[in-house]
Amino acid sequence: MDGRGLSGVPGCVHALFQQRVDGDEALLRLAGLRFAQMGTAAEVYADTPDQLEHVLRFVPPHPRLPVVHLSRGVNVLHGRDRALVREFADRFAGRVAGLVVHDKREMGAQTDRLLAGMRELNARLCQRPDGPLVFLEYAAGLDRGWFIEVAERLQDAERVSCCIDVGHVGLRQVVARFGDSHPGLNLKKLGLENPRLPDLVADIQDAVATALPHVLDVTRSLGRLGKHVHFHLHDGMPSAGGLFHPRDPPGGRPAASLRRRMAVRPLAEHHQR
């Protein structure tokens, strides 16, 4: 989701365009049909330029060009990975609007090196005005103040910016708050099979309720910079790998009944209260 278009007008929503099940191209063709019917812009995943070339064949035309989430293994601290980003940018100039790369834990101790790498990318991208922007996504759980500082120090780099993943930002705060109440208990590793889970619902709910101000703080801080910002929106459930997993197998973990007993509201719902 784009916070602001390049011309300063409000941005638009990009929905995930991805083949989530192994098989032939039928699902991609179906996705193309549905996206065309909905009039929705696309965000796609690609690890290599050839993969992107393949999936773009199925993305229907839209006034907004697709945004591309590159491999989570890409680390812009390394020259070889920046070269890959440049390859994507050069090959798909005029065909995609943005490239998203993750931040990494080690970047927290190498801020100057990160900034130098991002500025190197910016200089190359400025040579192609029709090329995509590059967005550094908050994903590794670093201090949000660090992420805001990186964005502020890159304010004058017009072709690189940041991606705010509200799930990652919120989850970091939720896990930290829950950990304060339950030292040694990692909320992200708290599975449905844990017998303590029903008794922890109130504390999980309290932790989730503290996340929204942190998400809004990052959003407002980056918004003040006056740059194009990309967003990844999630419902803000406290864990994707344990609780509230969206792909529980039928007859597998007792997810549905336990969720009803727990009735934990997602992060987004706290904004509506």
Q: pLDDT tens digit string along 80-121?
A: 999 999 999 999 999 999 999 999 999 999 999 999 999 999
Determine the Cα–Cα distance for residues 104 and 117; give it in Å rounded to an integer.
Answer: 13
- Per the CB < 8 A criterion, the answer to whether 150 and 225 are in contact is no
Q: What confidence score (pLDDT) does residue 234 get? A: 72
Report the 3 state secondary structure along 89-109. Answer: HHHCCCCCCEEEEECCHHHHH
Which pLDDT does position 45 carry in this prediction?
Answer: 96
Domain ranges of the chain: 1-137
260 pLDDT more than 50: no
pLDDT tens figures, 130-156? 999 999 999 999 999 999 999 999 999
Please give the backbone phi and psi of residue 133, each rounded to the nearest 5 degrees, phi first.
-80, 160
Amino acid found at 28? L
pLDDT of residue 10: 53
Residue 215 confidence class, pLDDT cut points 50, 70, 90: very high
pLDDT greater at residue 158 or residue 266 = 158
Mean pLDDT of the chain: 85
* Dist. CA 107–CA 116, nearest whole Å: 12
Q: What is the pLDDT of residue 6?
A: 40
Band the pLDDT of 265: cuts 50, 70, 90.
low
Q: Which residues, in sequence order, are bridge partners of residue 165?
A: 232
Average pLDDT of 200-209? 89
Q: How many CB atoms lie within 10 A of CB 3?
A: 17
> What pTM, to 2 d.p., does this model score?
0.84
CA dist 49 and 88 (Å) reads 6
d(CA 216, CA 166): 9
**Other beta carbons less than 10 A from residue 225's beta carbon:** 16
- Which of 116, 107, 118, 177 is closest to 142 using CA atoms? 107
Q: Is residue 211 classed as helix, strand or coil in its secondary structure?
A: helix
Contact call for residues 271 and 43 (beta carbons, < 8 A): no
The pLDDT value given to residue 5 = 42
Q: Which whole number is the average pLDDT over 183-208?
A: 86
- Could you tell me the two tokens for 128? 């192609």
Output the six-digit token pair for 20.
């989530």
Q: What is the mean predicted confidence (pLDDT) over 205-223?
A: 93
Those residues with Cβ within 8 angstroms of residue 265's Cβ, 6 or more apart along the chain or in another chain:
205, 208
Question: Would you say residue 63 has pLDDT above 80?
Answer: yes
Distance of CA 44 to the CA centre of its chain: 12
Burial class (CB in 10 A: 0-12, 13-18, 19+), 156: exposed
H or E element at residue 111: helix 111-125
pLDDT of residue 273: 41
pLDDT at 268: 53
pLDDT of residue 178: 92
